[in-house]
Amino acid sequence: MGVLSQSPSRRLLAALAVSLLLHVWIAGGISLPGFAEIEAEPPPIEARLMGPALKPVPPKPAVKPKSARRPPTSPMPASEPLPVAAEPVAEPASSDEAAPVVQVADTPATPAAALPEAFRIRYIVQGNEGGLTLGQLDHVWRRSGEQYSLVGVARATGLFALFYSGLLSQTSNGRIAAEGLRPESYWMQRGKKSYTAAFDWGRASVRLGGPYGALPVAAGAQDYLSVVYQLALFARPASGTVVVVNGKRAKEYRYQELGRELIRLPLGEIEAIHLRIGQGGEEDDMELWLRAQPPQLPVKMTLVDNKGRTGVLLAEAIE
């Protein structure tokens, strides 16, 4: 019969027995089968130390791991730096169409370097243009560094060699400066008479031969031969003045460009620049026709001598 069918007194005794057993088990006196392997987890023990408040200790900085040392290597020889190409500089863009690139020749280091080293111009000399031929005249130019030499040698030809004495021979020597030719000595022979001039640029004077003595001269003064090549070989304004020494005096002349002309010469037909030196008709006045093509060499000249006679020089060869 089950427990529920028992009498009340027995049920009470059974309940008391169970309660007693539970108390004994809780007190640790009895080990119940089936619960021996289950251990109750002891409550956590919390301990507190009372004392002065401790300051928080800052955390230690992280230590970087040491890199493994590499074995020492022998130093490599220093190599030459590699050339670095310069980057091109961009030109500012233009609204117009880009102009073609023009290669400009290098500027000569000195004015002398731009001049020819040597040339010879051979002229025929006529009493008047288209008239009888009186003789020949050679102009010879030589340049050595910054020194120049000019020689003009005239000689009569044919019957005129027997009695005509109006032909002119000259020499001019000097330096080539930034402003142009700087003559140092000059010699001229016309017929049986000769004249000389020695320039002293340090004293800005020129000493003439014979009874003519010394004269003051300004920078840029020329002799009667060098003035032709000063105007021919160097840049010049369309008009200006120049002091010319002829062995007897120093005179200021005015020159002027008269334009371009197409002229006929024994050399051929040439485009030339026409210049006038002086007012015309006076002693030592001259007119020049310079070849338009560089170098602008004199290819035609008219000269007035000391007797008022006009001689015409026409180039027949340039060597």
Q: Write the pLDDT tens digit of every residue in 62-94.
A: 545 454 455 444 444 444 444 444 444 445 444
Output the pLDDT for position 132. 84
Output the pLDDT for position 60. 54
Which residue has 């460009």 as its token pair?
257
Output the pLDDT for position 155. 85
Does a structural domain hold residue 62?
Answer: no
User: Who's near 153: CB < 8 A, 6+ residues apart?
Assistant: 137, 138, 140, 169
Output the pLDDT for position 277. 93
Output the pLDDT for position 7. 53
Output the pLDDT for position 24. 43
User: Who's near 58: CB < 8 A, 6+ residues apart?
Assistant: none
Does a structural domain hold residue 118?
Answer: no
Output the pLDDT for position 301. 95
Does a structural domain hold residue 159?
Answer: yes
Give the domain extent around 139.
126-318
Does a structural domain hold residue 181?
Answer: yes
User: Of all helices (H) and strands (E), which one includes residue 318?
Assistant: strand 310-318
Output the pLDDT for position 128. 76
Output the pLDDT for position 175. 97
Output the pLDDT for position 98. 47
pLDDT in tens, 4-62: 444 555 555 555 554 655 554 444 444 433 333 334 444 444 444 444 444 554 555 55
Output the pLDDT for position 62. 52
Using a cut of 0.85, tell me whether the model's pTM lies above it.
Answer: no
Q: Note the Cα 293 to chain centre separation in Å.
A: 27
Output the pLDDT for position 166. 59
Give the burial class of 173: count Cβ atoms within 10 A of its Cβ; 0-12 exposed, 13-18 middle, 19 or more buried: middle
**Domains held by the chain: number:** 1
For residue 61, give Cα distances in angstroms to 68, 85, 106, 244. 21, 48, 69, 96
Does a structural domain hold residue 248?
Answer: yes
Does a structural domain hold residue 184?
Answer: yes
pLDDT less than 50: residues of the chain: 1-6, 18, 24-54, 57, 63, 65, 67-68, 71-90, 92-109
Give the burial class of 101: count Cβ atoms within 10 A of its Cβ; 0-12 exposed, 13-18 middle, 19 or more buried: exposed
3-state secondary structure of 139: strand
Q: Residue 55 half-sphere exposure, CB side, CA atoms within 13 Å?
A: 3
Does a structural domain hold residue 104?
Answer: no
Does a structural domain hold residue 89?
Answer: no
